[in-house]
């Protein structure tokens, strides 16, 4: 697929991209993958990047229970974001319960915004987790972009500095994902400004 061309005016404020790290396991690999992806997005003047790390939030397990201050800050980040990237591992052919907890703890924050995916895991690269996430975000009135970044067996693919040792295909996939997110992010931000969603 040919990368989507995007045109940016200097008068248009950058899109706010929230990168969500979905894993909370001890020794998790998610931050390494997320840092790499943020490095792919950083040179783009059309984007500013924030990180929401589920592993740092201590989300309550009972909905409606008082939330720590870090959760309130994460909610503000999600609410002000124009687009999202979910960084998820694949656990037992699906995504982590900690990520579902974050998603279910919010609603309007996702609405009428694009969501992209960076997944990692075994031979499938986490794609089964992504396919389970798509209908969840559809229910939340978000728009999932078609292409994603999938990293099969990533544990030996990064050097000590967090760089991919063979970056070609992954960097190309990241560029395409960022192109699509930028297009949808700009289109939906304009649409929300003209006609707020659900009103």
What residues of the chain score a pLDDT lower than 50? Answer: 8-10
Tell me the domain boundaries of the chain. Answer: 15-21+31-54+70-153+162-194
pLDDT tens digits along 89-102: 999 999 999 999 99
Task: Kindly report the pTM of this predicted structure.
Answer: 0.91
pLDDT at 168: 83
pLDDT at 10: 44
Token pair recorded at residue 195: 């006609």
Domain 15-21+31-54+70-153+162-194 CATH assignment equals 3.40.50.360: yes
């Amino acid at each position: 697929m040919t990368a989507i061309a995007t045109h940016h005016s200097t008068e248009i404020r950058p899109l706010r991209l929230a990168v969500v790290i979905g894993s909370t396991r001890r020794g998790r690999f998610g931050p390494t993958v997320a840092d790499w992806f943020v490095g792919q997005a950083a040179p783009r003047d059309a984007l500013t990047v924030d990180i929401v790390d589920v592993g740092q939030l201590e989300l309550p397990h009972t909905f409606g229970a008082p939330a720590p201050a870090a959760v309130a800050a994460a909610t503000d980040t999600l609410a002000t974001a124009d687009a999202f990237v979910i960084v998820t591992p694949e656990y037992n052919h699906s995504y982590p319960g900690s990520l579902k907890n974050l998603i279910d703890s919010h609603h309007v924050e996702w609405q009428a915004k694009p969501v992209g995916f960076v997944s990692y895991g075994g031979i499938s690269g986490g794609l089964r987790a992504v396919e389970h996430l798509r209908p969840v975000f559809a229910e939340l009135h978000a728009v999932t972009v078609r292409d994603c970044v999938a990293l099969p067996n990533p544990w030996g693919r990064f050097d000590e500095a967090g760089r991919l040792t063979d970056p070609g295909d992954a960097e190309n996939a990241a560029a395409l994902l960022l192109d699509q997110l930028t297009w949808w992010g700009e289109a939906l931000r304009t649409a929300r400004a003209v006609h707020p969603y659900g009103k």
